[in-house]
Amino acid sequence: MNPTPVGADVLVGVLALQGDFREHEHALAACGAATRRVRTVEDLEGIDALVVPGGESTTMSNLALRWGLMEPLRALVRGGLPAYGSCAGMIMLADRIEGGRPDQETIGGLDVTVLRNAFGRQVDSFEADIAMLAFGAEPVHTVFIRAPWVEQAGPGVEVLGTVPTGPAAGRIIAVRQGRLLATSFHPELTGDARIHRYFLEMVREQA
Ligand code: GLN
């Protein structure tokens, strides 16, 4: 038997200004979704969902502003377009950021305050297996690279994952608010498609 892949008939726009958009394309393709690189306003036409990759949120913000994408992206997200952001993408989807550059803007939509580079210099990058039941019983192998965490989340925000142990214990690393999903870590780098599958199920619910 060959069940219909969760991403069938879904066109995901992947913001491709900067960062690891190719890895997101691969993860989405593994779930059967079609993808389109978003670099211009025209690229937004007809997409069913948006993915904002990991990378450098200050650069992404600059490029989105320079290329006239910021306002159209805000309008689409405000209008109900499902969106998923990993790491820098989480920052881009946050309504409020701490530790941002003064001129840094975000698409917003998620009622959270995100702290950039939250895990500190000594532990810039690390990996851990963390249970997050929303994505299944198996723990998720998480990769953090100069990652943010969610410092504060509004009442409509569902916390899907927190750091279980260590100095960052209890810190929020995965959230959902309606049709918006964000993770501090990078499932696009580990070959575990469960988070992308979860997102595509959200997109289906929305359709
Ligand atoms: N530190 C980066 C930023 O603030 C995010 C890092 C990442 O996406 N891996 O944009």
Q: Per the domain annotation, does 63 fall within a domain?
A: yes
Q: Quick one: three-class SS letters along 81-123?
A: CCEEEECHHHHHHEEEEECCCCCCCCCCCEEEEEECCCCCCCC
Q: Which atom of ligand 1 is nearest to the CA of 53?
A: 8
**CA angle in degrees (0–180, nearest 5) for 32-37-38:** 130
Q: Please write the tens of the pLDDT for every residue from 121-176.
A: 656 788 999 999 999 999 999 999 999 999 999 999 999 999 999 889 999 999 99
Q: How far does the centroid of ligand 1 lie from the alpha carbon of residue 9, in Å?
A: 31
Residue 51 has what pLDDT?
A: 98
Q: Is residue 166 part of a domain?
A: yes
Residue 6 placed within a domain: no
Residue 201 lies in a domain: yes
Contact 114, 151 (CB under 8 A): yes
Instruction: Give yes or no for a contact between 74 and 108, defined as CB atoms under 8 angstroms apart.
Output: yes
Counting from 1 in the atom list of ligand 1, the atom nearest the Cα of 86 is 8
Residue 120 domain-assigned?
yes
pLDDT given at position 123? 64
Q: What is the CATH number of the domain that holds 63?
A: 3.40.50.880
State yes or no: is 26 an active-site residue: no
Choice among 25, 31, 151, 186 that is catalytic: 186
Please check whether residue 77 lies inside any domain of the structure.
yes
Per the annotation, the verdict on 188 as an active-site residue is yes
| Closest CA relative to residue 151, chosen from 184, 114, 123, 190 | 114
Cα gap 83→112, rounded to integer Å: 15
- Number of compact structural domains in the chain: 1
Domain assignment of residue 119, yes or no:
yes
| Residue 178 Cα to ligand 1 middle (Å) | 24
Q: Are 89 and 53 in contact (CB under 8 A)?
A: yes
pLDDT above 90 for 4: no
